Structure 1
């Protein structure tokens, strides 16, 4: 029998493209949340005083919604396995100045990718529960169990909790 965990190493992600901020400013927030649990990440992002927190908050929330809706994962057991920020295109404009001259304005953008992984998938002992079943049968049984899990996650509202700061 091959490795039955092969089917369960599923990662769920959310991708935000052309977010209007520099990649350097977004990276200092992403470095704080990489490897943390989902609920802890939401609390950190609500309390950090940076402008980059809000788009990252929305992406983490979206990735968790993808995980619970599409895969049936429990949001309380999600962990941020990867978080990366890449530079996007730079929008260039000209600002009019005195005496008919112009001054270039550069608006950098970035692409943020948040990858979540479910840690509850590795808690099962397959030798006791599913002895004698094939890999596909085990995966189907486990997937049905994931769909019926109760989502015991508290709702985080960024506007009403007083956690939205706008500092650069």
Structure 2
């Protein structure tokens, strides 16, 4: 696994399907930190609320590690939504049969970096 430079935050085992989370992630990938938080604040999706928490956590990590860093200098360098484990549930059907219901989970990785390194 390659080493990622920048300030990162990871949220694992989020109870939302990655298929529902990825379109929200595409909206803020590559945007500035403040713009991405503003976009996610105004979206009605459950994924937007979860993603906002992870991005703000990465921003807090960045500001904690580098005291003379300004929020306006940060941008979303990498935003990855991966598939987590699946909860398997049995769904009763007629005549004693059963279907398998998969409740999917997501792992989210956010990397923020300074704009001077932005190319």
TM-score by length of 2: 0.85
Distance in 1 of aligned mates of 2:22 and 2:83: 10
Q: Distance in 1 between matches of 2:106 and 2:96?
A: 32
Counterpart residue number, 1:94? 90
Question: Structure 1, unaligned stretches of length 5 or more?
Answer: 1-8, 123-168
By how many angstroms is 1:120 displaced? Answer: 5.1
Aligned residue pairs total: 114
Distance 1:66 1:37 in 2: 16
State the alpha-carbon separation in 2 of the partners of residues 90 and 50 from structure 1: 21
Which of the residues 24, 48, 52 maps onto 2:47? 52
Distance in 1 of aligned mates of 2:50 and 2:97? 36
- Is 1:16 the equivalent of 2:14? no
Match of 1:26 in 2: 21
**Which of the pair has more CA radius of gyration?**
1
Question: CA separation of 1:74/1:96 partners in 2, compared to 1, >3 Å: closer, same or farther?
Answer: same
Aligned pairs (5 A) from 1:45-124: 45-72=40-67, 73-119=69-115
Structure-2 change in CA distance of 1:89 and 1:121 (3 Å) = closer
Normalized per residue, which structure has more strand?
2
Report the CA distance between 1:107 and its aligned residue. Answer: 0.3
TM-score, structure 1 as length reference: 0.62
SS across alignment from 1:52: helix
Provide the alpha-carbon RMSD of the alignment. 2.0
Find the residue that maps to 1:45 and give its secondary structure.
Answer: helix
For residues 60-92 of structure 1, give each alpha carbon's deviation from its aligned partner in whole angstroms, at most 9, with x where no partner exists: 000000000122222221100111111111110
The gaps in structure 2 that reach 5 residues or longer are: none
